[in-house]
Amino acid sequence: MPTQRKKISYQEFLHREYGFFRAPLAPEMDFYETIRAGNLRKVRTLLTEPFHMKTGLGILSDDHLQNLKYHLTITTALVARFCISGGLSQSEAYSLSDYYIRLADVARSPEEITEIHNEMCLHYAKQMQNLQRSTVTSKAVRTAVNYIYEHLHTRITLETLASVTNLSSPYFSRLFKKETGYSVSEYILNKKLETAKSMLASSSYSIAEISASLAFPSQSYFTNVLKKDCGLTPKEYRAKNAGYPPIV
């Protein structure tokens, strides 16, 4: 009998780490805070010094280009985590991180590293700006949204969300729709699809594994809802977007 593969965990996908982050944190907390705040204007002013000409970078490799790649990897990881602490979803933050680290890995010049660094910083800042403009306000809906993000690997119901927010199902349903513009079921499906797209684009997990890890009723259901959403089957989406995280 063939060996059965271990079922993947959605949480393991989100929390995966990179084994070569060994350098100490750079003393540039204000820069990361500016990105987390979504202050695009200030971020642009802070990017005037080319990354590849920045002074004070530690020596992680004797090869200059490789050294810059390591530092960009560290910077990207820190930016991702600052943005997560500011409310950006883990799936989006990590898929962006994967994307820019991959670009750095194949960069061929110091100048290209600077271009990738600047694009990465502005991309995260823009996502944080968009997030702040659309952030829901009530504690109940914030609690529900956080619960949804942490439990995308399970079947989430209106009744469960009403329970964790200590509200009746009818009242919570109306409040959620008022503040997010989506019904509970629409919102959950959208977030599952966003995460599935990230996994298709930035991982080698099979379509069946992704479907199961996000608790879709079946692989055929996953295929149908994704095709309805973007006009592509999971296989077609992966072929078109491999290495490129969806930009919301």
Has residue 29 been placed in a domain? yes
57 class by beta-carbon count within 10 Å (0-12 exposed, 13-18 middle, 19+ buried): middle
Q: How far is CA 97 from CA 132, 208, 240, 245, in A?
A: 20, 24, 19, 9
Tokens of 101: 């680290």
**Helices (DSSP H) in 1-157: which residue ranges?**
10-15, 29-36, 40-46, 64-85, 90-106, 110-134, 139-150
Domain boundary among 104, 134, 164: 134
| Segments forming the whole domain that contains residue 181 | 139-241
Domain boundary among 86, 113, 134: 134
Q: What is the pLDDT of residue 145?
A: 83
Domain count, the chain: 2
Return the CATH number at 167: 1.10.10.60
Q: What is the pLDDT of residue 75?
A: 92
Q: What is the pLDDT of residue 20?
A: 37
Domain boundary among 134, 169, 200: 134
Q: What is the pLDDT of residue 24?
A: 36
Q: Is 202 in a helix, a strand, or coil? A: helix
Q: How many residues comprise the chain?
A: 248
pTM of the model: 0.55
Low-confidence ranges of the chain (pLDDT < 70): 1-28, 133-137, 202, 243-248
